[in-house]
Structure 1
Amino acid sequence: MQNVSPVMLTLSKYISKAGGKPVPRKVAERARLHLVDTFAAMISGSRLLPGKKAIEYVKPLGGREEAGVIGTRIVTTVQNAALANGMFGHADETDDTHPPSLTHPGTSVVPSALAIAERGRLSGEQLLRAVVLGYDVCARMLLTLKPMPYLRSGHHAGATGQLFGAAAAAGTLLGLTPLQVRYMLSYTGQQTAGLYTMFRDPEHIEKAYAMGGMPAHNGLQAAMMAACGWTGVEDIFSGERDFFHTFAPEEFDREDLSRGLGKNYEMLRASIKRWPIGGPIQGPMHVLNDLMAEHGFGAADVEKVIANMPDKELEIVDNRPMPDISVQHLLAVMLLDRKLTFKSAHDFERMKDPKVLKMRARVHAVGDASLTDVQRRWRCVMEVHLKDGRVLHGQTMASKGSFENPLTPAEENEKATDLLAPVLGKKRSVELLDTLWNIEKVKDVRALRKLYMK
């Protein structure tokens, strides 16, 4: 008989039962928003370089036809599908985030849950409940580890949190008992990985794997191992040289893993990028968009733009060579085009366009420590100096898409359609979106295949 801590008993029981318990209406509404957003990210990502490489890898593997690879006609094992779809979801910077934990839950939790739901011909309601659970476990793992110290120690927060979130989502859909969940968590812990070095990857392939596909695949795999009767250590979160002894860089409280489960839903603190660009640029883009809409100016009217933003966030997006994570470049494109689309945000050629370069020289991003907070809110205080002498001021302390200022369904539809239509066509995109917004009415998740396959 192994010793099991109260925290592990609470957590394993909750994961085991979550798939059969309804979630509050407000949580379900937010979960549908994130489900739509993640599907859009996965389908668009299937056509980007990391997505193409994922397809090249899984297609020849074959295997039992259990789950679909989104945006293709491939049906393969749940492990292969989760890997590919997870890489699709983070093929660029379109996917959702959970800023307090520094994770991107959707890109790993949704592929894992979707694969198991397809395999078992489960309902859309069960899928949605599993996704909510996955976000809870993903975020709590990193909030317990303390995300910034964990990141600074060389680990990657998303790769770790999303691994446990993907496992929890798969485990509850597989109907694991509390004991099996504890074994599942042990095998999940054995696969904990993810190095900060992924940020050096210039083509986003390794980042898509480490931040999306790897956690989805490995978390699901741990759940499948437990479902097949694999036994092991019952409690990796306590006892001699436990999980936190190995991975926690500073003081922690194990109780954070289970505190508030079933009452405080981390889905409500997740954020969706209004624009398909890096999270730190959401604040500046929000303010510039609002100022342009209110005052009607364009690029020809602007003398200079000063965007004050959180200093730690600016480090990530300051004059980067990739268009979708360069704040100066994207603000220049917004001024010239009066809008920002997925295509324009990912156009490398425009980074050499003389018109863009001339406008970019007028955009100044300034790091401001007073705007930085532990919740990583998307903030910006902006001045726009016009050639007629006027100086316009705007700011946001919680930009559109953040958990305090979430997208409306109409706004998410607009973003999702821009991502889906180039792959699926307008008609199929509308049908898929309508089904996802009504996911609880879907009796067999496999019905989604006819909508997402191409």
Structure 2
Amino acid sequence: MTQSLSLELAHFIERTTWSDIPAHVRHEAHRALVNYFAVSLAGCSDPDVAKAATLFARFNAGGAAHIIGRAEVMDMLNAASLNAMSANVFDYDDTHIPTILHPTAPVAAALFALAETQPVSGEQLLLAFVLGVEVECRIAMAISPEHYRRGWHITSTCGVFGAAAAIGKVLGLDAGQLVGAFGNASAQASGLVETLGSAAKSMGVGNAARNGLLSALLAQDGFVGPDQPLEGERGFLKVFGEQPRFDEVSVGLGERWALMANTYKPYPCGVVLNPVIQACLELARDRTWGLDDIQRIELTGHPLLRQRTDRPDIRFGRQSQVSAQHAVAVSLATGMAGLAEFSDAAVSDQRLRGLYERVHFVDDADYSVESAQVRITFNSGSVLTRTVDVSLGSLDAPLSDHFLEDKLRDLSDYGRSGCEPQPLIDALWALEQATDAGALMRLASL
């Protein structure tokens, strides 16, 4: 272990310039932001987001930070939290492989909130975004998979460091101040996997954005934490990890980039359900059988599939987004897997619920989280099987730029945001040349 790990990471953030970022990483940053605004526009009118916005307004300190898809204008801390919540609330946001961290929401929400309160160019924001994602994902890699397995919600716990790093970069903090921002972030890192399927899960992601922003602002004013917030004997990595791999944080900085291990979802569910849904949609295509003909549905996949999605006793749409039982039933029954298929109404459909008990899991560690097999046994004794080795949206089958643009258009309509999608899409692809990055928020709000 390098004793100055936190400082080494801080020095990397301080010295890295836009010219150091390869062209393919720059492009991926744009793609991540297109997806971010898409999922935020979908979540903007969610009832739980609306409840949070109403409550936050009571504590609004004033300011000019907009809420994506909404009319409210708030201070940047509240805006950062709400926008991160909107991006995460439908489990439709991006996913870093293999940590299963959703990297964009905490970092982008914090950055755009700041960009509405001080001059920030598109290039500045993009550079800070790339670095923030790098920080949170490297920290996550150092403690994965044990961290998530122990019940920590990795987007919330590690996302706060990414947001702090990104904001620190825009503020021009030096390496010492950045270590201070990491220390402040370490005091606010929290989030539990137990919250999956509830609004509290997205509150943790909102806190990561808000508290990361706060951590950097405090460090700018000389409010700092410990000298070794990451690697210290009681620092984040040792407390939140079992046998942390410190090299994951420091080795290859500036050579391999976390954004290139980022993926985008074609379906609004936990990422481990993507291959299952794809297989079910393929099986449902041109089907000649009925749901009552099914005796047993067997899902073979990575153990994480069962651990995170074996949820037959769900009651709400939000819970269905992490329920294999519902994902299988609705995909087979309707041949679709959009947000409407994971709503409260879909969960209350007794025809679908009748299939839940017929779903069974087979753990196979040889499967990646991006692969699965669905095997249907019918009352007649016949069997249909579909194996997905590489699911749509995975690293080996990435969504196209055009797909992400259509996702933004579709989700803007779904969220009833009133936002005009095309000007926002055009501005996102042109962000590198923009002199005012905060202008995008005005395009994305009412």
Q: TM-score w.r.t. structure 1 length?
A: 0.87
Q: Say which of 263, 267, 278 aligns to 2:270.
A: 278
Q: Say which of 80, 84, 96 aligns to 1:82.
A: 80
Q: Please give the alpha-carbon distance, in whole angstroms, between the structure 2 residues aligned to 1:54 and 1:254.
A: 37
Tell me the residue number matched to 2:436: 444
Tell me the residue number matched to 2:167: 170
Q: Contact conserved, 1:16 with 1:176, CA < 8 A, in 2?
A: yes
Q: Please give the alpha-carbon distance, in whole angstroms, between the structure 1 residues aligned to 2:390 and 2:384.
A: 19
CA 427–89 in structure 1, closer or farther in 2 if over 3 Å, else same: closer
Q: Say which of 366, 370, 380 aligns to 2:365.
A: 370
How do 1:52-451 and structure 2 match up within 5 A? 52-144=50-142, 146-199=143-196, 204-210=198-204, 212-238=205-231, 241-249=234-242, 251-292=243-284, 296-297=286-287, 300=290, 303-304=293-294, 305-318=297-310, 319-321=312-314, 322-346=319-343, 348-358=344-354, 360=355, 364-373=359-368, 377-384=369-376, 391-423=383-415, 428-451=420-443
Q: CA deviation at 1:21?
A: 4.0
SS of match in other structure, 2:117: helix
| Higher percent of residues as helix | 1
Q: Please give the alpha-carbon distance, in whole angstroms, between the structure 1 residues aligned to 2:71 and 2:320.
A: 31
CA 285–232 in structure 1, closer or farther in 2 if over 3 Å, else same: closer
Residues 335-391 of structure 1 show CA distances to partners (whole Å, capped at 9, x for unaligned) of 332222212222x22333243345x26963422223445xxx221113356799875
CA 414–238 in structure 1, closer or farther in 2 if over 3 Å, else same: closer
Q: Which amino acid aligns with 1:177?
A: D
Q: CA deviation at 1:399?
A: 0.9
Q: Which amino acid aligns with 2:214?
A: Q
Q: Which amino acid aligns with 1:62?
A: N
Q: Please give the alpha-carbon distance, in whole angstroms, between the structure 1 residues aligned to 2:190 and 2:417.
A: 38
Q: Please give the alpha-carbon distance, in whole angstroms, between the structure 1 residues aligned to 2:59 and 2:293.
A: 56
Specify every segment of 5 or more residues in structure 1 that has no aligned partner in the other structure, as ranges: none
Residues 127-167 of structure 1 show CA distances to partners (whole Å, capped at 9, x for unaligned) of 222222122111111221x2232234443322211111111
Report the aligned-residue RMSD: 2.7
Q: Contact conserved, 2:158 with 2:189, CA < 8 A, in 1?
A: no
Q: TM-score w.r.t. structure 2 length?
A: 0.89
CA 254–437 in structure 1, closer or farther in 2 if over 3 Å, else same: same
Q: CA deviation at 1:209?
A: 0.8
